[in-house]
Amino acid sequence: MRILAIRPRALGDVVLVTPALRALSRGHPDAEIEFVTERRYRPLFEGLEGVDRVWDLERSALGTAKLIGALSRRQYDLAVDFFGNVRSALISRACGARRCAGYALRGRDRAYHVRVPRTLEFCAGDGTRREYAAATHVRLAEAVGGLSDGLEARIALPRAARALAARLLAAAGVREPRRAVGLVAAGTWPAKRWPIGNAAALARALMEGGREVILLAGPGEVELARSIRRHAPLTRELPSCGVGELASVISELGAVAGTDSGPKHLAASLGVPTITWYGPTHPDTWSPPRGPHAWWRTSLPCRGCDRTVCPHWNCMPELSAEHAAELVLDHLERHERSTSDFGSAARA
């Protein structure tokens, strides 16, 4: 049996598909599991348990057509689309798989033989709750015979990237990575970003509390990182690197703090403590239900709206740097990583 799984982007969502890939592998132990994602995420899956092959997807019509041509020769028994946009639905259907599965999304669900709802809400003692994103993917995997072994995300750490991590941290000027905090102020959406002034004030407070701070800024966030450093000059900045190197750097840190982001999900997949602040996104959906992970959210009644752009943008500025510093330092004190923790992250 041969199974194709599809999740092209974005970083956090790609990481959160890994429990579903394991579920497919456990439910179909004799199957070959092949995975389609963007090239930059390949290092997180090469050598990962339950993944036998990784296919690169380019963001172009020609690249998509070439990939479909290659996949159509593989004779898949099952294709599972963990994304659900037009392109991923097309790939799942056009690859020639005997059976396709995906989310029941209008205009795209016709590509699938097996469909499940993408979003679920349920009642709990403290009100309506939302489903954790990794649980959504596992639910889809179970609909086609997958067998869950939990919701913990796991990634592969490339050996070459691990060796480079120490050099990147040294180049950034980080002296004690195990006591350093990776700070994320940016967000994929404008509404998820934290104000520069708040991030700089938090960095200063953490350094006054005896922690080193290194900014984890991705492509397109260089100017934001520079602005933070202008207000907090002793803040370190990670040099430009690939996703595999970023994951390896994070595995060496004491914690990751900041906005709901891809680096936060990388940290959680490696057992690194995290603390996240939420405005338009919801902690039920994006915070791991177990482990050394905490969250803090705005008190505004419109929180959890999932808007990518907001006309007033009050939720993230409301989250003060002073309170953030108190929460982060307290979380670090309760979840300080031991030497054995670093060894397990390196082996993940």
Residue 168, domain member (yes or no): yes
- Residues 64, 125 within the same domain: yes
- Residues 134, 262 within the same domain: no
Domain boundary among 143, 174, 199: 143
- Residues 207, 137 within the same domain: no
- Residues 237, 166 within the same domain: yes
Domain boundary among 89, 111, 143: 143
Residue 17, domain member (yes or no): yes
Please state the domain count of the chain. Answer: 2
Question: How many Cβ atoms sit within 10 Å of the Cβ of residue 236?
Answer: 20
pLDDT of residue 347: 43
pLDDT of residue 340: 59
- Residues 124, 211 within the same domain: no
Residue 150, domain member (yes or no): no
Average pLDDT over residues 202-221: 90
User: In DSSP terms, which residues pair with 81 in a beta bridge?
Assistant: 6
- Residues 176, 217 within the same domain: yes
The string over 60-91, giving b where at least 16 C-beta atoms fall within 10 Å of a residue's C-beta and e elsewhere, is eeeebeebeeebeeeebebbbbbbbeebbbbb
- Residues 94, 214 within the same domain: no
- Residues 261, 125 within the same domain: no
Residue 154, domain member (yes or no): no
Q: Cα–Cα–Cα angle for 22, 138, 245, nearest 5°?
A: 55
Residue 110, domain member (yes or no): yes
- The domain that holds 57 is classified in CATH as 3.40.50.2000
Structural domain containing residue 133: 2-143
pLDDT of residue 83: 96
Residue 153, domain member (yes or no): no
pLDDT of residue 125: 61
User: In DSSP terms, which residues pair with 53 in a beta bridge?
Assistant: 34
Rounded-to-integer distance, Cα 182 and Cα 180, Å: 7
Are 55 and 68 in contact by the 8 Å Cβ rule? The answer is no
- Residues 189, 263 within the same domain: yes
Question: In the structure, what pLDDT confidence band is assigned to residue 25 with cuts at 50, 70 and 90?
Answer: very high
Domain boundary among 143, 168, 203: 143
Concatenating the DSSP letter of every residue in 51-64 gives --EEEEE-SSHHHH
Residue 149, domain member (yes or no): no
- Residues 22, 139 within the same domain: yes
Residue 152, domain member (yes or no): no
pLDDT of residue 189: 84
Sheet arrangement for strand 274-278: 236-237, 212-215, 180-184, 255-259, 274-278, 293-297
- Residues 284, 219 within the same domain: yes
Residue 290 sits at φ, ψ, to 5 deg, of -135, 160
- Residues 166, 46 within the same domain: no
**Per-residue pLDDT reduced to its tens digit, 267-300:** 999 999 999 999 999 999 999 999 999 999 999 9
Evaluate if residue 15 carries a pLDDT over 50. Answer: yes
Query: Which residues make Cβ contacts (< 8 Å) with residue 68, sequence separation at least 6?
Result: 90, 91, 94, 95
